Amino acid sequence: MGKSIREISRHIRGIRSTMQITRAMEMVSSAKLRKAREVLDASKPYYETVLNNIQDILGSVKGIKHPLLEEREVKSTLYIVLASDRGLAGGYNSNINKLTLKEIEESNGEEKIITVGLKSYEFFRKKHNVIENFLGISEKPEFSDAVHIAKIAMDLFNKGEIDEVKIMYTEFESMIKQTPKTLKILPVDKSAITEEKTGPSVLMEFEPSAEGVLDFLVPRYIESTIYGALIEASTSEQGARQVAMESATDNAEEIIGELELTYNRARQEAITMEISEIVSGAEALK
């Protein structure tokens, strides 16, 4: 019985040590989540300004054409998959990887994949065509990362090597809800960025031309959309990790409580047995 007590005590110490780690990770994720949400809120006005400018141009000039707006038969798709470099984030990585895999399986064309994060790279690298991998940016993406990814995607699209681009990311809705999403970013969906304007129309002049302005704005739209997805994914990752670590800490506390009950019960049994042996020995001496 004494050995059993020692084992239980050792088990309690081990779980308590793990609980200290999960609690510390929870606090770190909470701090990172606050910063990520600040960046997310600050980045939206830029994206919305670019979007509104494109809407104004497409709404003012009828029949305008641009290479990145060109719809064509889809024979090859580029998937940009946003996951994380680290685990311990609940179902965050597996959910986005599974959604991407489902998209690939339902598609009739070929696929090319750009992965962001080690967890997506490890998932796809053996059986799928991963053409580029970005490590070390999932938790704190910079706009330059989005520009780099966008350039690869636009170059492949302009060369005709791919016919569409989809970005697979996790949208941050709340602390307890992060939703995997699919967003087609190339060709730019004119119906998605064109809105019916109400009120009087405004006469607009473009210098050097509407097409020239679009040459500048459409790539910015692609870059800012990718950056927005990177920030959403980063925020979701920290939210998922904080929830996972909070849950792990709560589970550890519950297990410790159960083990302490078992430990006390075992001690009581050991004490009772010792008393019985003492009493039996005293009786034998009479």
| Cα 61 from chain centre | 38
Q: What is the pTM of this model?
A: 0.82
What integer pLDDT is reported at residue 235 of this predicted model?
Answer: 92
Report the CATH number of the 27-192+203-243 domain: 3.40.1380.10
Buried b (16+ CB within 10 A) or exposed e, 198-217: eeeeeeeeeeeebeebbeeb
pLDDT digits (tens, 9 = 90+) for 136-195: 999 999 999 999 999 999 999 999 999 999 999 999 988 888 999 999 998 877 665 555
In Å, how far are 7, 49, 71, 183, 203 from 55, measured between CA atoms?
68, 10, 18, 18, 14
| Regions of the chain with pLDDT less than 70 | 1-3, 55, 58-63, 190-207, 210, 282-286
Residue type, 173: E
Q: Torsions phi, psi of 271, nearest 5?
A: -65, -45
